[in-house]
Structure 1
Amino acid sequence: MSAIGTREVVEGFLREVRSGRDPEAAHRYLAEQVTAHQLESEHPRALPRGPANYAEHVREFRKLFGDFDLRIDELLVDGDKAYARWTQFGHHQGDIDGHAPTGRSLSVIDSACYRVKEGKIIEYWIQADRWGLLAQLNEERL
């Protein structure tokens, strides 16, 4: 896949699916079998993902953050891989790690490296600023 195709796939995925605008469009961007590497320093793991469960994953974000906005801050492409960093802006609408909803504004910074083959994302490695989110949630308790 050319770098242009990789960019189109990843940018479309972020703007349509990960943004929460159209979770059901996941089938256009994700292969049936995707390996999702969750890069958490205390518990790194790889999860199987597919279009249906990724769409559910995004719907869960909408329950927690409401109709959030996703801003792509950086997108770098090299062959079949693309690195993306984004900021998600929403409101605390659901229970997050034992923190009851407050309606207050929240922002989350995430980044991921996606691998694309034959026009579909087949693997990704994601890191989230979970400490930054926790700090915001803890401020809400004050």
Structure 2
Amino acid sequence: MSNDDISETAKAVIRRNTEEVQSGGDYALYDKLFSDNFVDHTPQPGRTPDKAGALELYQTLRTAFPDFHAVIHWQAAEGNLVTTYKTYHGTHQGEFFGMAPTGREIQFETVDAMRVVDGKITEHWGVANLFSLMEQLGARTGTP
């Protein structure tokens, strides 16, 4: 299998995670796409850096934002390491980080790098614009 084939296969796995698991809430597919030895090198606050912690984050986001979905702007891959730039969208209808629902529509950008080995996601590194998200929810009002 060529490096290009490996990259395209890995990108397809990451797209399925973004579109079907994160945006669609298909947690049975989550279990199939993520390795049991998955490591999140940049876990969100209060989450463990493993498969269970990532699933908990996904479920928390869908509970807080039931219409949570992502728009993938682009993906790039080098071998089995896929970088994705996307914008998440949703409406705040459930508790999120201790904040009561506001009914506000939100969007925030994220850049993720995920490694895929044997068709399963094994590692994650990511940066999300959570400052913007918290501003949109009214938790922060600009910079000091």
Could you say whether these structures have the same fold, taking a TM-score greater than 0.5 normalized by the shorter chain as the test?
yes
Aligned partner of 2:103 in structure 1 is: 103
- Structure 1 residue 119 corresponds to structure 2 residue 123: no
Work out which of the residue numbers 20, 25, 50 in structure 2 matches 1:48: 50
Cα offsets for 1:74-108 (capped at 9, x unmatched): 11111010001111111111222343211111112
Partner amino acid, structure 1, of 2:9: G
Q: Deviating runs (4+, > 3 A) in structure 1? A: 53-56
SS in 2 for 1:38: coil
- Structure 1 residue 14 corresponds to structure 2 residue 6: no
CA distance in 2, matches of 1:62, 1:39: 17
> What is the aligned length?
136
Whether the 8 Å CA contact 2:19–2:69 is kept in 1: the answer is no
CA distance in 2, matches of 1:46, 1:127: 16
Question: How high is the sequence identity, in percent, across the aligned residues?
Answer: 28
Aligned partner of 1:58 in structure 2 is: 58
Q: Could you tell me how far 1:126 is from its partner in structure 2?
A: 1.4
Q: Could you tell me how far 1:46 is from its partner in structure 2?
A: 7.2
Cα offsets for 1:98-132 (capped at 9, x unmatched): 43211111112112100111111100101111110
Whether the 8 Å CA contact 1:114–1:121 is kept in 2: the answer is yes
Structure 1: tracts of 5 or more residues without a match: none
Partner amino acid, structure 2, of 1:57: L
Tell me the TM-score normalised to structure 2 length: 0.81
Going from structure 1 to structure 2, the CA distance change for 1:48 and 1:69 (only over 3 Å counts) comes to closer
Whether the 8 Å CA contact 2:34–2:120 is kept in 1: the answer is yes
RMSD of the TM alignment (CA)? 2.5
